[in-house]
Amino acid sequence: MSIEVKDLSFRYGKIVALDGVTMRLGEGAVGLLGPNGAGKSTLLRILLGFLVPERGEGTVLDYDIRRDQAMIRRSVGYMPESDCFIAGMDAVTFTSYFGELSGMPRQEAMKRAHEVLFYVGLGEARYRLLDTYSAGMKQRLKLAQALVHDPKILFLDEPTSNLDPTGRAEILELIRDISVHKSIQVLLSSHILDDIESLCETVVILNKGRLAAEGRMADLRAIHYSLYELRIKGDGSAFRKDLESAGSRVEEMEDGLIKIYMPEGADRMDLFRAAARTGVQMRYFVKSRTSLEDLFAGVVGVD
C-alpha cells in the first residue's frame, strides 16, 4: 500500500476541512473527486507533507505523515494546477534546478533534466526560454519538474486544464504511460470525469470532508447484469415487439439509445437472435453501468 491513512481530520479555525478520512491506496492510478470545498486540497496537503493533521495518522510510502514530511516530499512529485514557471530560465535549467532542490546532486540533476524533457516531448524546445512557451508546453514542463527526481508517487492537480483537445490527448497519453508502464503511482485530482474514467482504476470521492466513496471503479459502478444498452439500424418496432414478447422491457431514449431490461437468467445472445429474426443490425452493445457522473451525483447526494 503506498498511501494509508486512518481517521484524518483537520480544521481551519471553525471550518471542518477533513473529518475522519480513512483509506488505503495501492496499485494503479487513483482518481480524486469531489465538489469544491470537499477537502481534496487539504487531503493533498497532508499527503504531500505540508500540513500536520489534527487527528489521525497515516503513511505515504511508509513514511509517517507527521514525522517524515521531508522524506515524503523527496519521493513525491507534484504537478500543480496553476501556471508556474521562472522567468529568464530555459527548460533544462528550470528542471535541473528543481531536481537539485529535491536533493539530487548537480550533475545528476542536469542529466535527468534532459532525459525527462525528452520524455515529456519538450526535447526540441529545451533550450528555449520559458517565457516563449505555449500553454501546452508549460503543462509538460510542470510534468517534467514533477518527474525529474524519479518520484514513486505523482500527484496531478487538473493536469489538462487550459489545454486544447490535442494537448489534452497528449498529456493524457503521457500520464497513462507513466501510470501503466512506468510503475509510478498516480493520484489524479480533476473535475473532468472523462479524464478520470480513462486513466484511473480506483476512485476516491470526498464530500464535505468525509469519504463518500472509495474503491475500484469497476466495483463502484454497479453493473446491471440484465440491463443492456443498444443502438441498432433497422426496423426498431419489430425488434422491440420481438423482445417484449420474450419478456424483456424495452425503453427508447431520445437520442436513439435503446435500453433493454432482460428477465432473470436470460441469455444475452437472445438479443442477437431477435436481431437476426427481425433483420436489424446491432451497432452498439454494452452492459449498462452507472456512469461516473451518476455515481458522483448519487454519492454526493445533491440534485
Partner 1 sequence: MTAVISASHLSKWYGNVLGLNDISLELEEGITGLLGPNGAGKSTFMKLVTGQMKPAIGTVAIRGRRVWNDPEIFQGIGFCPEQDVFYEDMTGSEFLAGLLRFYGFPKKEIDDRAARALDVVDLTADKDRLIRGYSRGMRQRIKFAQAIAHDPGILILDEPLSGLDPLGKRKLIKLIKGFKDEGRTVIVSSHVLPEIEALTSQIVLIHQGQILAQGDIPYIRELIEAHPHQISVRSSDPRALAARFVGDRSIQKMTFAADGQTLVVETHKRDEFFGRLTGIVLEGGIEVDEISSPDDNLQAVFEYLVGK
Partner 2 sequence: MAIVREKGYTHWNGQLVERRFPWAPIARTGVRLAFRKKGFKFVFAMAFMPSFVFLVTLYISERLEDFKGFVQGNTALLNVDPNYFKLFLTSGFVLFSLLLVLVFAAAGLIAEDLKHNSLQLYFARPIGKKDYILGKMSVVAFFILILVALPWLLLVVFKLIFAGNFKFFLQYPWLPLSILGYSLLLTVFLGCYVLLLSAVSRNTRYVIVLIFGVYYFSSVLAEILKKAFGSPYMALFSIPADLQQAGAALFGQKLPLAIPAFWSFLILAGICVLAAAVLNRKIRSVEVIK
Task: Please report, as ranges, the residues that interact with partner 2 according to CB under 8 A.
Answer: 41, 44-45, 48, 50-51, 70-71, 73-74, 76-78, 80-89, 93, 97-98, 100-106, 108, 112, 115-116, 119, 145-147, 149-150, 157, 177-178, 182
Q: Is the Cβ of residue 17 or residue 232 nearer to partner 2 in the bound state? A: 17
Question: Which residue intervals of the chain are DSSP H helices?
Answer: 40-47, 69-75, 91-101, 106-119, 135-147, 165-181, 193-199, 217-220, 236-245, 269-278, 292-300
Q: Is the Cβ of residue 26 or residue 103 nearer to partner 2 in the bound state? A: 103
Smallest gap, in angstroms, from Cβ of residue 210 to partner 1? Answer: 16
Interface segment toward partner 1; rule CB under 8 A; list 32-40, 43-51, 146-154, 216-224: 32-40
Please report the sign of the dihedral spanned by the C-alpha atoms of residue 88, residue 92, residue 93, residue 97. positive
Cβ within 8 Å of residue 28, ≥6 positions away: 179, 185, 200, 201, 202
Terminal CA-CA length for the chain: 35
Q: Does 303 bind partner 1 (CB under 8 A)?
A: yes
C-alpha cell at 128: 528555449
C-alpha cell at 206: 470526498
Q: Is the Cβ of residue 245 or residue 281 nearer to partner 1 in the bound state? A: 281
Among positions 118-137, residues that touch partner 1 (CB under 8 A) are 134-136
Which of partner 2, partner 1, none does residue 287 bind (CB under 5 to 8 Å by kind)? partner 1
Strands 185-189 and 30-33: parallel
Which of partner 1, partner 2, none does residue 18 bind (CB under 5 to 8 Å by kind)? none
Smallest gap, in angstroms, from Cβ of residue 150 to partner 1? Answer: 26
Q: Does 87 bind partner 1 (CB under 8 A)?
A: no
- Tell the burial category of 88 from Cβ atoms under 10 Å away from its Cβ (0-12, 13-18, 19+): exposed
Q: Contact with partner 1 (CB under 8 A): which of 50, 118, 127, 272? A: 272
Q: Does 15 bind partner 1 (CB under 8 A)?
A: no
